[in-house]
Amino acid sequence: MISRRALTTSCLPPTIRQLLSSRTASDPVQVNGWVKSVRRQKKVAFAMISDGSSDKGLQAVFTKVDLAKPLTNGCSVRLTGKLADSPGKGQDKELQVDQVELLGECDPAEYPIQKQALSVEHLRDHCHLRARTDEITAMIRLRDLASRSLCRYFEDQGFCYVHTPITTSSDCEGAGEAFRIAPPPSPDLPSSENPAEFFGRPAYLTVSSQLHLEALANAISRVYTLSPCFRAERSQTNRHLAEFWMLEAEWAFTRDIDDVCTVLEGSLRHVLKQAGASGEPVWTAGERARLPQLQAYADSDTAWPRLTYAAAVAELEAFHAASPRTFDFAPAWGRPLQSEHERWLAEHLARGPLFVTDYPAHLKAFYMRQNDAPGRDPRTVACVDLLVPGLGELAGGSLREEREDRLRGAMVRFGLGEEEYGWYLDLRRYGGAPHGGFGLGFERLISWMSGVENVRECIPIPRWAGRMLL
Ligand SMILES: NC(=O)C[C@H](N)C(=O)O
């Protein structure tokens, strides 16, 4: 006989955030969390309890001082008591504790997350525990909010959220940064028969979902994904990770690079607005100070400025001629924009986000559409980089070359074989529509919004050259 029981829709106790937003009730409540600090006086003890759901945590008050005895920084507890209006400064409510259950002990002498300010390096060395700090908690919640609001924007624009493979046979950006995947040798086969390639051909971790998204956009019209990408980037900068997340959107029936700018700008304005207006605990006190600036970018009633690469280089050259000591690298047409140039353009020229379009083809990837309409410089491609103050490049996109003959020509110039990219040519051969899209570095977005300079602090568990702790 099977037994049936009443349907329960939720079995989870309320989080601290949920408790704090409820009216003060006289019924006893239970609070689960980790102890952030304990202060003991003669007749009363206080503990800050956090479960990561609210920026402040909850102050627990123990009038029976002995109840607080087992509490140490870092231990996990379940406290039962009454939620009451707090006479203390900086909090509306407090928990008057009647009962304490120690769930997990924590030796305060060994606990690496001490109350005093901890160095970034120390926290990187303990990245399995650093989510217990207010800064990392806020960042993780900002990632959550930013992903939800990006998804919302694309849903509203008629895009379909798709899932693309992480393993791939191609290096989309052609920068030689794709990690190769090596299968373990099969114990059942003699080594001479062990296939070197698990998939029957060389396989890599994806550097970008773009090429796969193009296949889907040429059937579903508007697609996007938010997924991890991997690049064997060896330089140690504050803008690069070996494993990072990218929001990539791709859509068909678009012919103008201005459309790519407009969709990208729309999605970012939406995220900035949502994050600025949200009461969610996604900002530390310092980060909140940035909100008026972010809000101004989101609310400005003119579109973010757009400038061609040629015009941007002319501006840089003029500035470089007048103040030759500002840049380490002299700007010139045909040379890549260095990050110092990108920042100058956004910070001094535009004083805000700036789209730079139409770069020389030789500086960009093989798939970008050649600018060969009358009046356009045929040495350039229809592409865009979005530059923002404090960071430089935040996103990049392009129209994709949909004309088979031009694409073949580009593949020859870039040394890409038809065997590998035959399927990509098929997308053009069989009703290929004009299309384009962009990729937005998700950690860079978080860095830009929060003002946290290094992207290593913009992802919960970072990986970079020489570092993978867990
Ligand atoms: N989807 C994109 O356009 C992003 C581009 N493939 C990049 O990695 O920069």
SS (H, E, C) 86-150: CCCCCCCEEEEEEEEEEEECCCCCCCCCCCCCCCHHHHHHCCCCHHHCHHHHHHHHHHHHHHHHH
* Span from the CA of 250 to the centroid of ligand 1 (angstroms): 10
Structural domain ending residue among the three candidates 64, 79, 111? 111
Q: Which residues pair with 31 in a beta bridge?
A: 79
Which atom of ligand 1 is closest in space to residue 229's alpha carbon?
Answer: 8
- Closest by alpha carbon to 153, among 329, 275, 41? 275
Give the mean pLDDT of the chain: 95
Q: Which domain holds residue 93?
A: 16-111
- Asked if residue 137 and residue 91 are part of one domain, the reply reads no
- Asked if residue 201 and residue 85 are part of one domain, the reply reads no
The answer to whether residue 124 sits within a structural domain is no
Contacts of 463 (CB under 8 A, 6+ apart): 241, 242, 243
- Asked if residue 38 and residue 174 are part of one domain, the reply reads no
What DSSP character marks residue 191?
G
The answer to whether residue 160 sits within a structural domain is yes
- Asked if residue 204 and residue 149 are part of one domain, the reply reads yes
- Asked if residue 153 and residue 102 are part of one domain, the reply reads no
Strands 306-308 and 243-252: unpaired
The pLDDT score that the predictor gives to residue 25 is 66
Whose CA is closest to atom 3 on ligand 1?
A: 438
Structural domain ending residue among the three candidates 77, 111, 145? 111
- Asked if residue 185 and residue 61 are part of one domain, the reply reads no
Residues of the chain with pLDDT under 70: 23-25
| Per-residue exposure over 228-240, b if at least 16 CB sit within 10 Å of its own CB, e if not | ebbbebeeeeebb
The pLDDT score that the predictor gives to residue 24 is 62
Residues near ligand 1 (Cβ within 6 A)? 172-173, 208, 210, 248, 396-397, 437-439
DSSP letters along 355-405, please?
A: EEE--BGGGS-TTBPB--STTS-TTBBSEEEEEETTTEEEEEEEEE---HH
Q: What amino acid is encoded at 127 in this protein? A: C
Which atom of ligand 1 is closest in space to residue 396's alpha carbon?
Answer: 9
The pLDDT score that the predictor gives to residue 172 is 87
31: domain CATH number is 2.40.50.140
Between CA 65 and CA 45 the distance in angstroms is 6
- Asked if residue 426 and residue 281 are part of one domain, the reply reads yes
- Asked if residue 320 and residue 399 are part of one domain, the reply reads yes
The pLDDT score that the predictor gives to residue 268 is 98
- Residue found under tokens 């009647």: 98
* Span from the CA of 401 to the centroid of ligand 1 (angstroms): 14
* Span from the CA of 396 to the centroid of ligand 1 (angstroms): 6
Contacts of 443 (CB under 8 A, 6+ apart): 241, 244, 245, 455, 458, 459
The answer to whether residue 367 sits within a structural domain is yes
- Asked if residue 143 and residue 59 are part of one domain, the reply reads no
- Asked if residue 172 and residue 106 are part of one domain, the reply reads no
Which atom of ligand 1 is closest in space to residue 395's alpha carbon?
Answer: 9
* Span from the CA of 434 to the centroid of ligand 1 (angstroms): 17
* Span from the CA of 333 to the centroid of ligand 1 (angstroms): 23
- Asked if residue 139 and residue 233 are part of one domain, the reply reads yes
Strands 243-252 and 222-230: antiparallel
Structural domain ending residue among the three candidates 57, 76, 111? 111
The answer to whether residue 8 sits within a structural domain is no
The conformational region for residue 9 under phi > 0 = left, psi -120 to 50 = alpha, else beta, is alpha
Q: In this structure, are residues 213 and 162 in contact, taking their beta carbons and an 8 Å threshold?
A: yes
* Span from the CA of 439 to the centroid of ligand 1 (angstroms): 4
- Residue found under tokens 């008057």: 96
The answer to whether residue 3 sits within a structural domain is no
Ligand 1, residues 154, 170, 208: which to mutate, most atoms within 8 A of Cβ? 208
Q: What distance lies between CA 373 and its chain's CA centroid?
A: 36
Q: In this structure, are residues 353 and 386 in contact, taking their beta carbons and an 8 Å threshold?
A: yes
- Asked if residue 163 and residue 26 are part of one domain, the reply reads no
Between CA 380 and CA 267 the distance in angstroms is 26
* Span from the CA of 437 to the centroid of ligand 1 (angstroms): 8
- In total, how many domains does the chain have? 2
Gyration radius from the chain CA atoms: 27
The pLDDT score that the predictor gives to residue 89 is 79
The answer to whether residue 1 sits within a structural domain is no
Whose CA is closest to atom 7 on ligand 1?
A: 439
